[in-house]
A and B are shown apart, each in its own frame.
Chain A
Amino acid sequence: MTDTSTTKRRSVKPSSLRYYQDGPPYGLDLTTWRLRVWGLGIRHREFRFDELRELPRVRESRRYVCVCNWSMRQEWGGFLLSDLLAALAWDGVTEGRFLRQVSVGTPEKGVYDSTVPLGDAVERRALLVDEVDGQPLPIERGYPLRFFDFGLYGYKSVKGLGSLEITDRFELGEWERRAGYTLSGEIQPKRYRFCDAGGHHFVDRPGEVTER
């Protein structure tokens, strides 16, 4: 997690890396964009982008895994979900609480949503990400801000965030409704293509891939 090297083999990135079910959004203006954070056990607030940049910054090298069997370790810049919640006087309750993420989306394709268990996300040091490999997130990667719980497949972490809600309902999100992917979305033991390291590697336990 402290590795500060940037992504190897940058040119070898599958096209599904750029897959964007609900977008990408267009005409997004950072001066008017807001992240709305609301729900159970926190103070409600709308953040400007520059306000979010004032939260404690982290840079972490972590591996994400796509449900279509490839993976890539990259250096992510942003802030911890737990620090965002702390800034909202979070009551600390995780039992029966979930985090629902909703994208900005587009008028034509609507929004993308996904819900994850709040306690697991905090425990796994989930991030709100605005940089990758030292650069602002490209639009197709989730500009201006993306959620990431690295114990889950990518479809559980929403790009181009518009709001975060703490809820007591663990409901199907867009990709689960659309194609039957699992609600939990936990990374499964399987053989994955490691695009950065080269070759295929068998991951022998569920959850975040921390080796390599």
Chain B
Amino acid sequence: MNGVSMDGRLTDDMCRVPAGTFRQGSTRSPDEQPVREVQLSAYAIDRMPVTNRAYGEFIKDGGYKDPSLWTPAGWEFIRAHDISEPNYWHDPLWGHPDVPVTGVSWWEALAYARWCGKTLPTEAQWERACRGAAGSTYPWGEDEPDPSLANYAPGGEPLERRPTRPNEFPRNVSGFGCVDMAGNFAEWCLDNYVVGYPAGSQDLVVLTAEDDDHVVRGGCGLHDEDYLRCAARDHYHPGLRDNLIGFRCVRPLRTEQLT
């Protein structure tokens, strides 16, 4: 669950992303600019979004009852709204064990990540993992999206509004091996949203206030093809618990875990 085996090696459920630079952003939207080179330290990122089955372990382990896993604002949020499980937990479709967990606020995603010794990806980490070493537009490369590639809403119209299993679209795999980054569920990132990218180029994370909107990446089954681009940005209030958003986690890599 924490991505590290008993002997200290990275487990197969995480993908290695080596230290290096990548080209972040695009000219398609003002908030994806300026396009610039960004330097990132090595990290590992979950191969798949967190599923309901995995999230259930967090609930069983008392994740919603342990304030040490939550930020003070997150703890206050779940107490104020009497939250003890995801919003769609008992829905047979959205709560199916094999599909990504959804209906979780940013605070619930962060608490889960802390519980398993990880954190949420910065949007730079997310975008690099999606683009792969080749820096592609979509996780699968440069082909324009079509319904055989991902779960999204072509032209804004879902073909069928449902969650899909992370492996349902065999080509929806990034160059670093991450599965299901485009469509199905957008994914919470650590950063707050600001229009455009601030100055700086090394391991950037933008934190304004916990209550401000946070970035989500990757698009979802209700959003159109434009949101499937690795560079596309979206943002929501951290308390949003609709069936649009899930998440995956990251952890830093130690030198001996690089290979």
Please give the residue numbers on chain A whose beta carbons come within 8 Å of chain B beta carbons, in ascending order.
12, 14-16, 68-70, 179-182, 188-191, 193, 195, 200, 202, 204
Please give the residue numbers on chain B whose beta carbons come within 8 Å of chain A beta carbons, in ascending order.
28-31, 87, 103, 105, 153, 155-158, 195, 213, 222-224, 226-227, 232-235, 237, 239-244
Contacts of B237 in A (CB 8 A): 180-182
19 further A-B contacts with Cβ under 8 Å, apart from A69-B223, A195-B156, are A12-B155, A14-B155, A14-B156, A15-B158, A68-B222, A68-B223, A68-B244, A179-B87, A179-B240, A180-B105, A180-B237, A181-B237, A190-B234, A191-B31, A193-B224, A193-B226, A200-B29, A204-B30, A204-B195
Q: Which of B158, B226, B227, B239 contacts A180 (CB 8 A)?
A: B239
Question: In whole Å, how far is B195's beta carbon from the nearest beta carbon of chain A?
Answer: 6
Contacts of A190 in B (CB 8 A): 31, 234-235
Question: In whole Å, how far is A138's beta carbon from the nearest beta carbon of chain B?
Answer: 17
**A188-B213 contact in complex given A12-B155, A14-B156, A14-B157, C-beta closer than 8 Å:** yes
Contacts of A200 in B (CB 8 A): 28-29, 226
Give A195 to B233 CA distance when docked, in angstroms. 19
Contacts of A189 in B (CB 8 A): 31, 195
**A181-B242 contact in complex given A68-B222, A188-B213, A191-B29, C-beta closer than 8 Å:** yes
Number of residue pairs spanning A and B whose beta carbons lie under 8 angstroms apart: 61
Contacts of B234 in A (CB 8 A): 69, 190-191
**A188-B226 contact in complex given A70-B156, A179-B241, A181-B242, C-beta closer than 8 Å:** no
Chain A: CB-nearest residue to B240: A180
Contacts of B87 in A (CB 8 A): 179-180
Q: Which 4 pairs show the lowest CB-CB distances between chains A and B?
A: A179-B242, A180-B241, A14-B156, A180-B239
Give A12 to B156 CA distance when docked, in angstroms. 9
Give A149 to B223 CA distance when docked, in angstroms. 24
Contact status A181-B240, CB under 8 Å: yes
Give A204 to B195 CA distance when docked, in angstroms. 8
**Could you jot down 9 A-B contacts, CB within 8 Å?**
A14-B155, A68-B244, A69-B223, A70-B156, A180-B237, A189-B31, A190-B235, A193-B226, A200-B29
Give A182 to B241 CA distance when docked, in angstroms. 11
Contacts of A69 in B (CB 8 A): 223-224, 227, 234
Chain A: CB-nearest residue to B83: A180
Contacts of A179 in B (CB 8 A): 87, 103, 240-243
Contacts of B29 in A (CB 8 A): 191, 200, 202
Give A164 to B153 CA distance when docked, in angstroms. 35
Question: In whole Å, how far is B238's beta carbon from the nearest beta carbon of chain A?
Answer: 9
Question: In whole Å, how far is B86's beta carbon from the nearest beta carbon of chain A?
Answer: 11
Question: In whole Å, how far is B153's beta carbon from the nearest beta carbon of chain A?
Answer: 7
Contacts of B242 in A (CB 8 A): 179-181
Give A29 to B31 CA distance when docked, in angstroms. 48
Contacts of A15 in B (CB 8 A): 157-158
Contact status B157-A202, CB under 8 Å: no
Contacts of B195 in A (CB 8 A): 189, 204
Contact status B222-A16, CB under 8 Å: yes
Contacts of B239 in A (CB 8 A): 180, 182
Contacts of B244 in A (CB 8 A): 68
Contact status B226-A191, CB under 8 Å: yes
Contacts of B232 in A (CB 8 A): 191
Question: In whole Å, how far is B30's beta carbon from the nearest beta carbon of chain A?
Answer: 5
Contacts of A181 in B (CB 8 A): 237, 240, 242
Contacts of B103 in A (CB 8 A): 179
